[in-house]
Amino acid sequence: QHSKKHRLRIAVPDSIMSYKLKPFFRKLVEEKRDEGITLMMSDSIPISERVRDRQIDLGITNNIVPFAELRKEELFRETYVLVTPEKKDLKEGERIHMKTLDPTHEVYHIFSQDFNRWHNYWIHPGNEKARVNLAHVAIEFLTEEKDWTILPASVAEALVEERKGREALHMYALAPDVPERVAIAVTNRNAGPETARVTEEVISLLKGWLAEQQENKERKKHGRGFKGTEGDGPGVSVGSV
Of 133, 159, 180, the last residue of a domain is: 180
For residue 1, tell me if it sits in a domain: no
43/104 same-domain check = no
Asked if residues 81 and 151 have their Cβ atoms less than 8 Å apart, the reply is yes
Asked if residue 108 and residue 32 are part of one domain, the reply reads no
Residue 222 falls inside a structural domain: yes
Burial of residue 71 (number of CB atoms within 10 Å: 0-12, 13-18, 19+):
middle
Domain of residue 61 covers: 8-76+182-238
Assess whether 82 and 176 both reside in one domain: yes
Same domain, residue pair 72 and 190? yes
Same domain, 82 and 72: no
In angstroms, the CA 61 to CA 114 distance is: 13
**83 & 71 share domain:** no
Q: Which 8-state DSSP code applies to residue 165? A: T
Q: Is the dihedral of CA 8, 59, 198, 56 positive or negative?
A: negative
Same domain, 122 and 142: yes
| Over residues 120-134, mean pLDDT | 92
Neighbours of 68 (CB within 10 A): 7
* Percent composition of the chain: helix, strand, coil (DSSP 3-state, to 5): 35, 25, 40
CA dist 206 and 195 (Å) reads 16
- Total Cβ atoms within 10 A of residue 87: 10
How much is the average pLDDT of 113-138? 92
pLDDT, tens digit (0-9, with 9 covering 90-100), for 61-76: 998 888 999 999 999 9
Q: DSSP label at 178?
A: P
Given the DSSP bridges, would you call strands 37-41 and 70-84 parallel, antiparallel or unpaired? unpaired
DSSP classification of residue 34: T
Domain count across the chain: 2
pLDDT in tens, 209-241: 999 998 888 888 776 443 333 333 344 333 322
Residue 103 sits in a domain whose CATH number is: 3.40.190.10
Rounded distance, CA 102 to CA 45, Å? 27
CA 4 to mean position of chain CA atoms? 30
65 neighbors 71 (Cβ within 8 angstroms) = no
pTM over 0.95: no
Within this chain, do residues 66 and 33 fall inside the same structural domain, yes or no?
A: yes
Give per-residue pLDDT as tens, 149-197: 999 999 999 999 888 877 789 999 999 999 999 999 999 999 999 999 9
Angle at 85 between CA 81 and CA 234, to 5 degrees: 30
Say yes or no: 51 and 126 in one domain: no
**Parallel, antiparallel or unpaired: strands 37-41 and 8-12:** parallel
Distance CA 102, CA 105 (A): 6
> Are both 147 and 167 inside the same structural domain?
yes
In a domain, 3, yes or no: no
Same domain, 187 and 155: no
Q: Is position 2 within any domain?
A: no
